[in-house]
């Protein structure tokens, strides 16, 4: 087999591997994008180290969940006595029944 032909075959193989990496990198990128992360950054991450990026993308917490948590904590305060979260306007704790003074 001529050496030139061998080179072309190796090159074609390399291009296939690169194409596969590009496609595979999209998977963690989509997962991360659904959680409010940058699609391109995560695609690049998956392209470079797919084995790490895929479990990482599954593991990260969605960004909007954090926002919801922050919204939920708005309008609430901790009971001075039992430290349960109660409504900001509450005069009596719904958990321990103690009178609250602001
Ligand atoms: Zn209480």
Residue 102 has pLDDT above 90, yes or no: no
pLDDT in tens, 32-50: 999 999 999 998 888 888 8
71 CA distance to ligand 1 middle (Å) = 21
The pLDDT value given to residue 17: 86
What's the CA gap between 7 and 21, in Å, rounded?
Answer: 21
Give me the residue spans of the domains in the chain.
3-60, 73-102
What pTM was estimated for this model as a whole? 0.47
88 CA distance to ligand 1 middle (Å) = 13
Are 24 and 31 a contacting pair, CB within 8 Å?
no
99 CA distance to ligand 1 middle (Å) = 8
The pLDDT value given to residue 48: 85
Residue 63 has pLDDT above 80, yes or no: no
pLDDT in tens, 4-17: 888 888 888 888 88
């Amino acid at each position: 087999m001529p050496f030139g032909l061998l080179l072309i075959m190796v090159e074609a193989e390399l291009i296939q591997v690169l194409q596969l990496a590009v496609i595979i990198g999209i998977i963690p990128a989509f997962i991360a994008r659904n959680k409010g992360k940058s699609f391109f950054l995560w695609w690049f991450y998956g392209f470079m180290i797919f084995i790490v990026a895929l479990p990482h993308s599954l593991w990260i917490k969605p960004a909007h969940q954090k926002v919801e948590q922050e919204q939920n904590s708005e309008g609430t305060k901790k009971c001075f006595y039992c430290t349960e979260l109660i409504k900001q306007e509450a005069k009596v704790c719904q958990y321990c029944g103690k009178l609250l003074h602001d």
